Every structure is written in C-alpha cells, then in structure tokens.
Amino acid sequence: MILPDVDDQGVDTQGSTTKWQTGTWQFISAARLMDPNSTRHELRDELESGLHVLLYTSVRYRASHLPVAQCKLLKKAFIEHFDSRSDTVQGRTSGGHGKYEFFQPIGPSAFSQPGLKIFLNTPLASLIETLRRLFVPLYSLPDMLQLVPTMEQSRDAALEVLKTSDRFIEIIEEHLEMDGWTENDVSDELRGCDQFFTEARGLIFAARRSSLLRANIKRGSGSAGMANATSASLPFMAESNGED
C-alpha cells in the first residue's frame, strides 16, 4: 500500500525532525511514530497503515448522525488516535500513543466493536475489530494479553502472520461476503457537515474538489463544462487555503 507523503499535516517537516517519515502522519504505524529515531519500515507497518485508513474513513464519514454529546466524545478519541504527538528531548516529533492504546487487548471504548456498531454496520465494525487483533500482540505485554484468552498470545506468531498480506486480505474478503452491508449509505460529511476535522484536511478537500469538478464537467459539455468548474463554484476550497 502506497500512502501520500507528509505534506502540510501540522508536522514540522523542516530539517531532520521528520526526515525518516514516509507517509501521512495520521496513518503511520504506532511503532514508527513512537520511535522517531528508527528507520525500520516493514510490511506490517504498511498493513497497520491500511487499518488506520479504514478506521479513519469509517468514523469520519459515518458518525455524523450521532447526538452532539456522543459525537464530542468520539471526536476526542478520534483526534487522540490520529493526531497525538509530542517533541522528544532531541527535538524530534514523536507520537502514536493513541494508536498504541487502540492496540491494547481492551482498547478505547469508542473504537471497540460495540462502540463502532452504534454508527457502523455490523460487518464493518467486525472487520475493523478483526484486523485490529492482528496487531494487538505487537503492542501488548503478555500479562495483558492473558486478559483476552481468545486473542493471539504470541508476539512471534503475530509477526509471522504479518510477514505477508495474506491473512489481512483474507479477513477483508471474509467480511465482504457477510450479510448486513448498508447500501446507499451516503455520508453527511460529503454535504459539508463534517464534525471530525483533524489536521489531515488536505486529503478530504482534494477529494471533494475532484468530485465536484467531475460533476460540473458532466453537467456541462466541453469547454463550457470546464468553465463552470472553477474555484468560484467550489466555496469550500476557501477554507483550505494555507491548510491543505
């Protein structure tokens, strides 16, 4: 999986602070964020990034119908997971503590399977939880793993599974065959009602702009359609100036 390079995600990319990073901050693996001096980058980091992308898009695009109070609590957990960071003694930027907590045997209630099922369909909530369990042994102490006997107890066994993407893909395919996927589940976020803005705004603005450009061109024809697809017809882009 190839992820976008860090652009303007609120991380100081000048000098050597984040020179080692090759990805969008919100989706980099917890292990890499927590050790800014490491240059290790393996397949398991890429697979973990895929899970973070899935969680990010699922929560951001599907939680907009929650009551305000509940949405605020979820947003707090969301920002902690994707945006938490701090400076080390050496002046480098580290983070990943929210993701580390996510990969504990009993993770944050907001992102637990019951918590996700409040606003996600059953197979999607199950998919996120099942993929999460692949990585839990990498971040948990043996004593903590024993609290959940149904979970893989061996870190070495988990590392062996994550040497390839086979099991990761197999889990996705198994869940796609399940009943309960929602059809036509359009998100309010796409209508400008996003309650989960984090610092990864540029990706979303770009997606919106591309979508509206295509719609404008389709409604028009040739150069006339292109003339309609101007920044003046995309008012949301004014929000992103200097931020994406």
The answer to the question of residue 90 being in a domain is yes
The residue among 103, 205, 188 whose CA lies nearest residue 145 is 103
Strands 85-87 and 93-95: antiparallel
What residues form DSSP beta bridges with 86?
A: 94
Hey, what are 124's tokens? 């999607």
pLDDT for residue 116: 92
User: Residue 227: inside a domain, yes or no?
Assistant: no
Q: For residues 159 and 139, what is the distance between their CA atoms, to the nearest angstrom?
A: 11
* Residue whose entry in the numeric block shows the structure tokens 């197979």: 123
**The amino acid at 94:** S
> For the CA atoms of 200, 210, 1, 199, what is the dihedral angle to 10 degrees?
0
pLDDT of residue 70: 81
Give whole-number Cα distances, 231 to 72, 108, 207, 237, in Å: 32, 40, 14, 7
Can you give the pLDDT at residue 243? 40
Query: Where are the extended beta strands (E) located within the chain?
Result: 85-87, 93-95
Six-digit token pair at 97? Answer: 């503590």
Contact 225, 213 (CB under 8 A): no
pLDDT of residue 36: 77
What pLDDT shows up at residue 213? 62
Nearest CA among 1, 81, 9, 4 for reference residue 42: 1
Mean pLDDT of each 10-residue bin along the chain, 244 residues long: 42 44 80 82 93 91 74 87 77 84 90 91 96 93 80 86 96 96 67 51 50 62 48 37 39
Asked whether residue 231 is assigned to any structural domain, the reply reads: no
Specify whether the CB–CB gap between 94 and 34 falls below 8 A. yes
Burial profile 163-190: b = 16 or more Cβ within 10 angstroms, e = fewer:
eeeebbeebeeebeeeeeeeeeeeeebe
**CB-based contact 84:97 (threshold 8 Å):** yes
Structure tokens at 230: 């101007």
5 inside domain: no
- pTM over 0.85? The answer is no
- Residue 9 placed within a domain: no
Those residues whose C-beta lies under 8 Å from the C-beta of residue 44, and which sit 6 or more positions away, are 29, 135, 138, 159, 162, 163
Q: How many structural domains compose the chain?
A: 1
In a domain, 232, yes or no: no
Residue with tokens 């990498």: 138
- Residue 163 inside a domain? The answer is yes
Range of the domain at 138: 25-210
Q: Establish if 20 belongs to a structural domain.
A: no
Amino acid at 62: R
Amino acid at 188: D
